[in-house]
Chains A and B, each alone.
Chain A
Amino acid sequence: MMRTRFDRQLETLNTMLIEMGAQTERAIALSIQALKEQNVKLARQAIACEREVDQTEKEIETLCLRLLLQQQPVAGDLRLISAALKMITDMERIGDQAADIAEISIHLSQEPYIKKLEHIPQMAQATVKMVTESIDAFVHRDLALAREVVDYDDVVDGLFDAVKNDLIALIGADSANGIQAIDLIMVAKYLERIGDHAVNIAQWVAFSITGTHDGGEEAD
């Protein structure tokens, strides 16, 4: 008995996860762009994007619960669906963090920056890459790729340390810089957490393939 209906539903699940990943990436990209360009309109778009992410999370959650009820999955199917349920939680948090960054960028849009943003956009780029690749790893059952994502978090953490050191120096030079510096460190922290959530996603992807779940460090 080929479970064509079930397989189609799993296809739909994959599609929706890719969509959610794309929305999450867009939220990050928009919020960082808004930050760089000090563009309030872009910031508001980023926040709207976050609401889309929430909506998609609900839809995927409903689909997964329905699949559990209707199809009584076992083995690989069960791991896939339960991994999906965990992954969307992390992606939704990423969306929240992106929105928080957008909020801060609105706050910072009035004055020029104390320093040119350099590491922060790099962090953003790195985290977007991590999210893209972990969704990719899920859809293509690519264990090696998932493990790469986990390792890549070191890059994000390294960049975070760099941002921290730069900002500490700036505060040391002039305490008036502190006001902006604090917001900027928050942004960097949010990005670092996004990195950790991406790691979680990759670890759930690995679980869906191997059946063992490593880690589960709570970023929030």
Chain B
Amino acid sequence: MEKFRLRDVSLWYNDFKALKDITMDIVSGEVTAFIGPSGCGKSTLLKSFNRMNDLVEGCKITGSIQLDGQDIYKDPNINGLRKRVGMVFQKPNPFPMSIYDNVAFGPRTHGVKSRLVLDELVEKALRDAAVWEETKDRLKKSALSLSGGQQQRLCIARALAVEPQALLMDEPTSALDPISTSKIEELVTQLKERYTIVIVTHNMQQATRISDKTAFFLLGELVEYGKTEQVFSLPRDKRCEDYITGRFG
């Protein structure tokens, strides 16, 4: 069951072609990892899934990206798209507000007003993000008082609060210590039962630990895409093999 279908997707930043004719399917209920050297286009592609690239001036995209069969670039309701496709960024970026308000921001944006409903949503989201125990007694305190790892899980809770179908994660653990990293990896493995997750990572071991499928990008092209175990034990493309064995950075 494909969640995202990409057909001949190309992207330009002004004259620079950052993505070249990407065609792939992202399966729902799985974790798909995007790997590749810096500048290969993996983050750019990720940001196309929720049209965050629209915010970049001079960005042009061709081809089609479909979510559940609907082309997301033909749908004018961008905010609705971003409700269905959540995003977690590389550096934790909680708003300078209370923990409660951070998580409630999304639901409030999409029309939830009732205090009772919000309370429930906030608790559920914080539980799902495995950070409820650490925050339940300080919901009114500023989100900035949390540690880095907790902040990132808060950002995950914030994304989950709007009940998305897919979750995009752009190197979510690269700014965190090993313990926070493994907590979040644990979380991702649990979340994939209910969400489709696409994760960009520089950490090969992370990709092998948590992803079901891996896509390797190089200079804007999709070079290899398959089951993670196969990509990492017997890659078909030599460029992929060279990258994952560290023979070129």
Contact = CB atoms under 8 A, between A and B. Distances in A.
A1 B249 contact: yes
Contacts of B249: 1
A211 B233 contact: yes
Nearest to B208: A74
Interface string B230-249: 00111100000100111111
Contacts of B241: 75-76
A78 interface: yes
A110 interface: no
The 5 A-B pairs with the shortest beta carbon distances in the complex, nearest first, are: A211-B234, A1-B249, A74-B232, A3-B246, A74-B244
Nearest to A212: B234
Interface string A1-31: 1110010000000000000000000000000
B234 A74 contact: no
A211 B248 CA distance: 22
B40 interface: no
Contacts of B232: 74-75
A74 B203 CA distance: 13
B205 interface: yes
Contacts of A1: 246, 248-249
16 contacts: A1-B246, A1-B249, A2-B248, A3-B247, A72-B204, A73-B245, A74-B204, A74-B208, A74-B232, A74-B233, A75-B235, A76-B245, A77-B245, A78-B233, A79-B234, A211-B234
Contact-residue size bin, chain A (C-beta under 8 Å from the other chain): 10 to 19
Nearest to A71: B246
Nearest to B231: A75
Interface residues of B, number: 14
A211 B233 CA distance: 7
Contacts of B235: 75
Contact of B234 (A2, A72, A73, A75): A75
A79 B233 contact: yes
Contacts of A3: 245-247
B178 to A, nearest CB: 14
Contacts of B245: 3, 73-77
A2 B233 CA distance: 20
Interface string B206-249: 00100000000000000000000000111100000100111111
Interface in A51-107: 72-79
Contacts of B208: 74
A75 B233 contact: yes
B235 to A, nearest CB: 6
Contacts of A76: 241, 245
B139 to A, nearest CB: 40
A79 B235 CA distance: 12
Contacts of B233: 74-75, 78-79, 211
A75 B207 CA distance: 14
A75 B247 contact: no
Contacts of A77: 245
B42 to A, nearest CB: 18
A186 B112 CA distance: 85
A76 B242 CA distance: 9
A77 B243 CA distance: 12
Contacts of B247: 2-3
Nearest to A7: B247
Contact of A75 (B205, B244, B248): B244
Contacts of A74: 204, 208, 232-233, 244-245
A54 B205 CA distance: 34
